[in-house]
Chain A
Amino acid sequence: MNYLLGAFKPACNVSITFSDGKNRKQVPMKKENGQTALVPLFHSQDTISGKVCIDPYQGKKVEHNGVKVELLGQIEMYFDRGNFYDFTSLVRELDVPGEIYERKTYPFEFPTVEMPYETYNGVNVRLRYVLKVTVTRGYSGSILEYQELVVRNYAPLPDINNSIKMEVGIEDCLHIEFEYNKSKYHLKDVILGKIYFLLVRIKMKNMDLEIRRRESTGAGANTHVETETLAKFELMDGTPVRGESIPVRLFLAPYDLTPTHRNINNKYSVKYYLNLVLVDEEDRRYFKQQEITLYRLKEDTSS
């Protein structure tokens, strides 16, 4: 039966390797089947170079109408499944039509590629970069091979980074003033702050600080908004008295956060909020949400 199966198998094995593959940093990425795989990490303006290796199976030849490698930047909306929108597409022709009898390697290079958007894997939308090798064949369908990349872009330190300070309350019931030390945090940052209780007339069970991600996709009437709570961090246990101040110290590192994305290619936005939630003894929730901007800071070489 082996030969029969072999008949339907692709005639060759296509693999893609990066020239700096051994040194390049790899990051885990969740695949569609739920498993995580390590994927090489790139940044905008990187040069993507490597080799495509086509290795026909024993005793087979590969007839083709040309071999090409493409670098694609795609946005995929889940409610519009299967419809990719390529915002970046670069092509390198690797071979003219012919036949391959034995293993053949093609080097390729995309110098200083502009990759303005970061890889993003959201609820309703996905932005991905992929290298696609196509061995074009006339009758039996082209042979395709994909290699995912992850792109992350660093942002500089913001010039202006004000603290967030606000007084909120319910009349004659609860008055608090909260303060977060910044409005823009990098992904490994720590949120420091304080919650002052100016008036407390309710009995509280606890106070949490939540990090919420709001992903909005589409535009106009087709806008889909999805909100997830990524972190729920208990700040306080019990009821404070008037004049008490509760410290806030929330490390962002353990959470799976991305930078804030604003209107990516007019397709989607990802925003982050700090949500301060007070829960009283009757399980009523009082909350106040504040947007924060997340950005990716270039990490020290050491870390």
Chain B
Amino acid sequence: MRTLAGVEDEEKWLAEGIAGIQHNAFFMHRALDANNLREVLKYSALMLSELRTSKLSPQKYYDLYMRAFDQLRQLEIFFKDESRHGLPVVDLYELVQHAGNILPRMYLLCTVGSVYIKSKQAPSKDVLKDLVEMCRGVQHPIRGLFLRSYLAQVSRDKLPEIGSDYEGDANTVIDAVEFVLQNFTEMNKLWVRIQHQGPGTVREKQEKERNELRDLVGKNLHVLGQIEGVDLEMYKETVLPRVLEQVVNCKDKLAQYYLMECIIQVFPDEYHLQTLEALLAACTQLMPTVDTKIVLTQLMDRLSNYAASSPDVLHEFLQVEAFAKLSNAIGKVIDTQLEMPIVGAMTLFVSLLTFTLRVHPDRLDYVDQVLGACVVKLSSVPKLEDARAMKQVVALLSAPLEKYSDIVTALTLSNYPRVMDHLDDGTNKVMAMLIIQSIMKNDSCISTADKVEVLFELIKGLIKDLDGTNVEELDEEDFQEEQNSVARLIHMLDNEEPEEMLKIIYVVRKHLMTGGPQRLPFTVPPLVFSAVRLVRQLEAQGGDIAGEDVPATLRKIFQILNQTIEALSSVPCPELALRLYLQCAEAASDCDLEPVAYEFFTQAFILYEEEIADSKAQVTAIHLIVGTLQRINVFGVENRDTLTHKATGYSARLLKKPDQCRAVYACSHLFWVDDPEGIKDGERRALRIANAAQQMVNATRGSSGPVTLFVEILNKYLYFFEKGNPHITPSDIQSLIELINTEMLSDNGNTTIHSDPFFSSTLRYIRFQKQKGGLMGEKYDLIKL
């Protein structure tokens, strides 16, 4: 009925109760001052009668209780002083039991009882036992709880624990434990019973009120945890079984959850470890509605921390086979609690995994076992859609990465990819990114094809479009970052053994080729460079390796490279492909594979002709081609001629004159390679091209910047002059300088700003060379400024 009444009524009742207590306390104090025992007992009983109310909610009742509690402290002081009331405490102990109402009687009895113990006129265990037994008379849940809580409070410092005044001969710590256990059991029963009070319509409110009272019950466990002298043996034999028995038998969701939590928090970790079996057995016996996962999670977290606290304790874990037990228990809990949401199961697995990683870092099989169990659980549900569950799975998968800081370890876990399969695409990508980041962070190298295969299986979310992904939804920036990561990852795949490396490349290529046009521009270059690196390695080791299954011949590698780059054409991405072709060509050249290099150049030229239309791109491409071609020395005369002429031709056909000019004078290098064995066949041609360039400059006259171009050409002249090209004579240079001078005079306008310093420093260089003397000086002396 109480709960149906309004809050105002409750306030009123509380006020009345408080007034009653104060009123009687006043008379009690008067009697105390007069040392009148009879009156003291009378008024204290009356005062305590206020606690007999049934009208208050637990919170309000607590308020009332605290007021009475304060008064009882005064009373206790009076009882302690025999000279004031003139009665031996044993008689007092009887006298207070004459009170007709049980609640005041019990409060008084507890108060005198505490004095009785303190007087040491009776063994404390007897008094305690009597008190805890007599309290049974109060069966009303709230009143009983508070009474027993009072008992617990007044007896707390009087328990016969080891080292206390009350321990000795007949009073042992076991008596203290027994007392607390009994009080705990009774309190819990009362607490559980609250829910059966009142009508069902107010169940929710009741639950809340009950929750407010839980600490009264939990306090007992706290005390148990603090009693000096409860050693492992006693804990194992007495304390835990009794507590667990109560927890399991009370069959109450709220209590079971709270008490398990208490047990885990209150008692030391090493005890938990040694009693793991019992503790876990209890967990599996809890009510199906109890959130066992949190309980287990807390337990495992504590044990994990304990394991992490000191390496000395690890052997204990092994001794008790902690993992097997935990794993079993979790399995059971998941099996029995069918209603547990998937996120719950996942949380459990995460905790177990964390535990495993902390305690048994060396036992990969355990980790795999956990993941395996997780897979089984995940397979039983259609598709993971709960975001929180997903988060847990990510946590689950990240844990080994963090722990082992070496992805290789994770790759050996057979269940790892199977767990990943259950993620949705977005999460899968996140996970894949995590994996890559882990690899990057730890700079770990993946060195076998098998592992690479597994790894790519793991990150396939990044490698290719998964079914049902709407490409348009992808965020451009994210996508780029992802693909860049993949590209970076490819560089981490490395093996000293060329044969294995080739296998890796095969594997990588197989996966990357499935990536589609959007990904290829990101992924192909690292693959190509990776292959090129292998090529160079092979070359350095002296050529082909006769492998068993995959002979790593250079030719073969180049073939792959060719095919790989060709894939880019579908994108299309001609500039990139062109660069790659040139890289390959250079590599092939280094390997003395003329036809291969030639083939690559051909490809590059075709691309240039057919695909590269933008003039700026063309300029860049030409310079690249020229640069590469200049470095390559594998070609025979014929091939070389073809290629150089083509390049020069392209240069000359560029759209803008300055571009043309620059491209052409760059081409001049193709004919004059500064190398002892370099091709110097084209001395004449170099000059001719330089002249052609000069003409082109002339053609640009009128437009901006020809002077700069002249200066640039002058520099080329000087270069070839220095290198000893006989067709560059001092007079040529001289005339060019003069030309520039006149140009500058006639064009004393805008362009000088750029060209002037360039020109003057060029002149300064010439003067410097002159003054320096020596061979070069002599040469330069011929140039007159």
Contact = CB atoms under 8 A, between A and B. Distances in A.
A237 B148 CA distance: 14
Nearest to A240: B139
A230 B94 CA distance: 19
Nearest to B141: A238
Nearest to A245: B136
Contact of B138 (A233, A238, A251): A238
A241 B140 CA distance: 10
Contacts of B593: none
A247 interface: yes
Contacts of B189: 241
Contacts of B414: none
A236 B190 CA distance: 14
B139 A237 contact: yes
B55 to A, nearest CB: 14
Contacts of A206: 102
B101 interface: yes
A177 interface: no
Contacts of B140: 237-239
Nearest to A236: B137
A249 interface: yes
Interface in B88-108: 94, 97-98, 100-103, 105
A251 B109 CA distance: 14
Interface in A226-267: 231-241, 244-247, 249, 251, 253-254
A206 B98 CA distance: 17
Contacts, number: 53
A247 B143 contact: no
B133 interface: yes
A249 B131 CA distance: 12
B137 A235 contact: yes
A235 B139 CA distance: 10
Contact of B193 (A234, A235, A236, A241): A241
A16 B485 CA distance: 123
A254 B38 CA distance: 13
Interface string A210-239: 000000000000000000000111111111
B606 interface: no
B133 A238 contact: no
Contacts of B133: 247
A189 to B, nearest CB: 12
A247 B136 contact: yes
Contacts of B521: none
A244 B136 contact: yes
A194 to B, nearest CB: 9
Interface string B536-565: 000000000000000000000000000000
A51 B313 CA distance: 94
A247 B101 CA distance: 14
B754 interface: no
A229 to B, nearest CB: 12
A233 B100 CA distance: 5
Contacts of A235: 102, 137
A246 B137 contact: yes
B144 interface: yes
Interface string B122-139: 000000000001101111
Nearest to B52: A237
Contact of A247 (B94, B137, B144): B137
A232 B193 CA distance: 27
A301 to B, nearest CB: 18
B121 to A, nearest CB: 17
Contacts of A238: 138-141, 143-144
B350 to A, nearest CB: 40
Contacts of B101: 234
Contacts of B139: 236-241, 244, 246
Nearest to B97: A251
B97 A246 contact: no
Nearest to B190: A238
Given A237-B52, A238-B141, A251-B94, A246 B136 contact: yes
B20 to A, nearest CB: 17
A238 B54 CA distance: 10
Interface string A288-303: 0000000000000000
Contacts of B52: 237
Most buried by A among B137, B143, B144: B137
A237 B134 CA distance: 12
B138 A236 contact: yes
A239 B194 CA distance: 11
A237 B102 CA distance: 7
A94 B97 CA distance: 53
Given A247-B137, A249-B134, A237 B103 contact: yes
Nearest to B193: A241
Contacts of B141: 238
Interface in A265-298: none
A212 B656 CA distance: 128
A238 B105 CA distance: 15
A247 B138 contact: no
Contacts of B193: 241
Nearest to A255: B98
B102 A249 contact: no
Contacts of A237: 52, 102-103, 137-140, 143-144
Contacts of B98: 251, 253-254
Contacts of A253: 98
A233 B134 CA distance: 14
B1 to A, nearest CB: 10
Given A234-B102, A236-B139, A244-B139, 8 more contacts: A232-B100, A235-B102, A235-B137, A237-B52, A241-B139, A245-B136, A249-B97, A249-B134
6 contacts: A206-B102, A237-B139, A246-B139, A247-B133, A247-B137, A249-B97
Can you list the 5 inter-chain pairs with the closest CB atoms, starting with the nearest?
A: A238-B140, A238-B139, A234-B102, A240-B139, A254-B98
Interface of B: 52, 94, 97-98, 100-103, 105, 133-134, 136-141, 143-144, 189, 193
